[in-house]
Chain A
């Protein structure tokens, strides 16, 4: 009887706790539950997107802001004609293309961060 009451000693082996992988998509959960940390993730994405947008806008504003003054100084209809009639459109399309590439890269980087994938 007494022989049976003392349980046999067993050695339990297993992986150390620290090595167990963290739950996946943890940042995703933070964002979904709108914790402070999740908010910080969203803010970081917004900052990078806003920076890209402001860069494109600043270039546009600088050019559009100075061109009328340049035209006024040059006083040449031919220049106005060439610049406004033809030359402005390709740079506008290029700026748009640059911004889209940049914005999509920001989003890819962010998704990688959130899903815990390493950078390639």
Chain B
């Protein structure tokens, strides 16, 4: 692969990094209390919060991964962005407002508040940290790939750079500053894909608008059971979004349940708008960078196209814009995840609470996935992210949906569901990544896309074990249900 040396791209990456640290530092001055730190004192209005959630959500998988997958495997891969978006609809209709009204800081808080069990809390903490780490690895690897393409720097440099900036930004200002950073990064990411896309489409038209063909199926081998894989992807992304630790923590920053709902609608619109763009890059990549299909680094397509199609100074500048946007993608998702994981570590693992321990937890939260990203071989970014979604869909989705809507949920039921559903999904992912079961054949398909069976397993285990232990229904269930579902106007007189 060509590794062009773009001074303009270097400058753009440096600028994004600098801006992130500066905006984060601005938050340092106004972030004073613990509540500021964790949930921005619950004062983030829907539009600002929606841009922050979108900025956080649109990760390396969205910015580079989708175009790469479309390039290699064809338009069926567009289920990824559709699933990432539809996941917010499912989150909206079942979880958004009650989750905000639960009044908890994190998922483990929610689990303990609803089920009144330290055991469930600890188990949920383990899953939050695990899912967060699984999701952080591809972000860091994507950063490494980008920096390698731009500068020829060794692969570990980008990983380390992103990890350090995240520690600086998160540890300095916490949630309040992260909100501003991420609002800024959403608009940066949108611009960074939109403007080059316009020029690339113009270049394509002046080239005589050649037809994009996806009939060449030689390299498009992805699954020997493509229909099953598609359903696996749909289930994982539709149901997994609600449990992603960095998404959930953002809902607690809304002022009330009604605003949490409106925020979700705005998020849907913002990320839907963004997802119109990556497929354009995938299709153009098929025309102008076809060799990427075979050499395995298809995630690089978005970065390489401007130089290929336009070239010269214009190509350099557009490439720089994309590089800056890509770094914004790594930084925002990585800092959101680090924030969520660090929050859980501070509350449930490290001994004392307080801002200084939060900073220690931040370092811990990113150091482990950094080690992982340097040790583990590269998995396509979008696939790795898909696995995190499958784990989330099989563990947190049953816990949240049943916890919010079903009064007979018991702590033993929740534990059984988390272990059987989430545990089996996590195990399948681990086996797939380790390469112990190889395609073709049903065993590989079932393990690589576990959500189709592991989500029902999680739900069934939770329901059946809860029904078998009716004596363990927490005494505060009715109070919790009232708090989750009553509008704040009717409950404001009561202590929370």
Contact = CB atoms under 8 A, between A and B. Distances in A.
A60 B93 CA distance: 11
Interface in B258-280: 258, 261-262, 264-265, 268-269, 272-273, 275-276, 279
Given A34-B478, A46-B405, A56 B490 contact: no
Contacts of A45: 485-486
Contacts of B481: 42, 46
Given A72-B227, A80-B76, A81-B279, A53 B268 contact: no
Nearest to B80: A84
Contact of B93 (A71, A99, A110): A99
A19 interface: no
B482 A34 contact: yes
A84 B78 CA distance: 6
Given A42-B485, A46-B485, A68-B230, A28 B214 contact: no
Interface string A88-120: 111011011101100110010011001000000
A120 B340 CA distance: 45
Contact of B489 (A60, A81, A97, A111): A111
Interface string B86-101: 1011101110010000
A31 B79 contact: no
A56 B227 CA distance: 24
B75 A81 contact: yes
B89 A89 contact: no
Contacts of A88: 82, 85-86
Interface string A40-67: 0010011001101110110010001100
B262 to A, nearest CB: 6
B93 A52 contact: yes
A77 interface: yes
A4 interface: no
Contacts of B276: 85-86, 89
Contacts of A80: 75-76, 78
Given A34-B479, A45-B486, A81-B279, A96 B92 contact: yes
Nearest to A99: B93
Nearest to A49: B485
B200 interface: no
A32 interface: yes
A92 B78 contact: no
A63 to B, nearest CB: 9
Contact of A97 (B238, B265, B273, B275): B265
A99 B94 CA distance: 11
B113 interface: no
Interface in B5-28: none
Contacts of B74: 77
A103 B227 CA distance: 35
Contact of A84 (B79, B262, B482, B493): B79
Contacts of A99: 89, 92-93
Nearest to A55: B93
Interface in A5-51: 28, 31-32, 34, 38-39, 42, 45-46, 49-50
B261 A95 contact: no
Contacts of B230: 68
Interface in B232-268: 234, 238, 258, 261-262, 264-265, 268
A89 B75 contact: no
A76 B300 CA distance: 27
A39 to B, nearest CB: 6
B231 interface: yes
Interface string B453-480: 0000000000000000000000000110
Given A72-B227, A114-B490, A103 B78 contact: no
Contacts of B489: 111
B242 to A, nearest CB: 12
Contacts of A57: 90, 93-94
A111 B79 CA distance: 40
Given A42-B481, A104-B258, A68 B231 contact: yes
A93 B486 contact: no
A31 B486 contact: yes
B487 interface: yes
A64 B76 contact: no
A100 B265 contact: yes
A31 B490 CA distance: 10
Interface in B204-247: 214-215, 227, 230-231, 234, 238
B76 A71 contact: yes
A117 to B, nearest CB: 13
A49 B101 CA distance: 15
A71 B82 CA distance: 15
A96 B486 contact: no
A42 B477 CA distance: 12
Interface of B: 74-76, 78-79, 81-82, 85-86, 88-90, 92-94, 97, 214-215, 227, 230-231, 234, 238, 258, 261-262, 264-265, 268-269, 272-273, 275-276, 279, 405, 478-479, 481-482, 485-487, 489-490, 493-494
Closest 8 CB pairs of A and B: A84-B78, A89-B272, A53-B93, A80-B75, A96-B265, A107-B487, A81-B75, A85-B279
12 contacts: A38-B482, A42-B481, A56-B89, A57-B94, A77-B214, A81-B75, A84-B81, A89-B272, A93-B269, A103-B261, A111-B489, A111-B490
Given A86-B276, A100-B92, 5 more contacts: A31-B490, A42-B478, A64-B86, A71-B76, A110-B490
